[in-house]
Amino acid sequence: MKLLKNIFVVIAIIAGLYAIFALSPSTEIGFGFFALSFGLLAILWTVNAYRDLSPNSSLRNYTAMFLVSLVFILLHSIWSTLIILFNFKGFLNYINYLFISAAYVAFVFAAYNILKIGKEFGFREQAKEIKKALKPKKSR
Amino acid sequence: MKKSGMKDFEDKLRNLKDYIALATVPASSYSKSNKEMIRILINTQNTPGVYVTLNKPFNILEKDFKISKIDINKIIFIDAVTKTAGGKTSKTKNCLFIGSPENLSDISLAMDQAVRAVPGKEKFVFFDSLSTLLIFNSAEVVARFIHFLAGKMRVWKVKGIIISLEDKKNNKELIDKLSQVCDIVLDLGG
């Protein structure tokens, strides 16, 4: 039953991707819509995770930063598609760089958050101490 | 399944590699019973593990355990009290201080990481206590959390002990519900 469901999901994704590229006027725009659809899915999953996590928890703070990065990446994809569609020039082109730069800045904050989580919730040193404590003491 | 007394804890659970036990303790002997269970796990069974405290701050537990000659080097403590009380909360050799008992995401994350870090096949998880969790969260949230925790304990294959104060008024319904997901209910009041 699970296998059947997975096969159905894969077929649906392939059909969706085919439809995106078939309906798009050019391959560039097709890739634009492709990126948008996956970006939206990533944002939806992240928002759901954010809502489920406890307020002020480390994971929730990390999720929030990750969400900001995803939003800027999505904005970058939307703007890239708009540039192709409407042939933007000059200043309107630079907005795209702003979006991708903001995404990287948010990623740095998210990475810093995950670094803090690693330090806070990592128990490597404690594990070493337990290993030492568990070793049978040699009798004289 | 209802067993009574600390002797049952030692006898019935001694030969089990992994289990989930819900232990109800009267407030009068709460501290003594907890220490005794940890003493059996650490000193008698030589099992390392994780102690999650929502009730007593780590520094008090540390003193108590040292007086009782329990080797605290075999335990990773997760303390969700001290930060709430505004005490000193930098990570120590044995303890991680996390937010408050409301912060269930951090408690789960810390437990998962700590249990996986403990070396060896046999380990324990001591959750102290369900009653404190109920002060900070609704009964429904606590029931869901303990259900989740029980599932995790099965995956981790640990000796899981969940402590609850004997409080027939507030806990009865919840304990009845949770006893379904536990292997044994220990009444340590006898």
Summarised one tens digit per residue, pLDDT across range B167-183 is 766 677 788 888 888 88
The residue among A26, A59, A25 whose CA lies nearest residue B112 is A59
pLDDT tens per residue across span B87-110: 666 678 889 998 888 889 889 999
pLDDT band at A137 (very low <50, low <70, confident <90, very high): low
pTM value is 0.79
Q: Is A139 helix (H, G, I), strand (E, B) or coil?
A: coil
Please give, rounded to a whole number of angstroms, the shortest distance from the CA of A65 to a CA of chain B: 17
Cα(B125)–Cα(B48) distance, integer angstroms: 9
Is the confidence at residue B69, as pLDDT, over 80? yes
Cβ-nearest to A120 among B48, B91, B94: B91
Q: What does the DSSP 8-state code read for residue B29?
A: G
Lowest-confidence pick of A49-63, B56-70, B171-185: B171-185
Rounded to an integer, the average pLDDT of A6-21 is 89
pLDDT tens per residue across span A100-109: 999 999 999 9
Contact A134 B119 (CB under 8 A): yes
Instruction: Give percent above pLDDT 70 in chain A.
Output: 96
Q: What is the predicted pLDDT for the residue at B172?
A: 76
* Token couple for B3: 């067993």
Beta bridge partners of B127: B52, B162
pLDDT band at A112 (very low <50, low <70, confident <90, very high): very high
Q: Domain-by-domain residue ranges, chain A? A: 2-134
Cβ-nearest to B73 among A54, A121, A129: A129
Interface test with B, best of A48, A56, A121 (most B CBs within 10 A): A121
Is the confidence at residue A40, as pLDDT, over 80? yes
Q: Domain-by-domain residue ranges, chain B? A: 2-187
Rounded to an integer, the average pLDDT of B47-59 is 93
Contact B73 A123 (CB under 8 A): no
Is the confidence at residue A4, as pLDDT, over 70? yes
Interface test with A, best of B106, B122, B123 (most A CBs within 10 A): B106
Q: Predicted ipTM?
A: 0.71
CATH topology for B2-187 is Rossmann fold (3.40.50)
Cα(B189)–Cα(B173) distance, integer angstroms: 18
Q: What is the predicted pLDDT for the residue at A125?
A: 83
Is the confidence at residue A28, as pLDDT, over 70? yes
Please enumerate residues of A whose Cβ is less than 8 A from a Cβ of B: 53-60, 117, 119-127, 129-134
* Token couple for A2: 């699970």
How confident is the prediction for chain B on average, in pLDDT?
Answer: 86
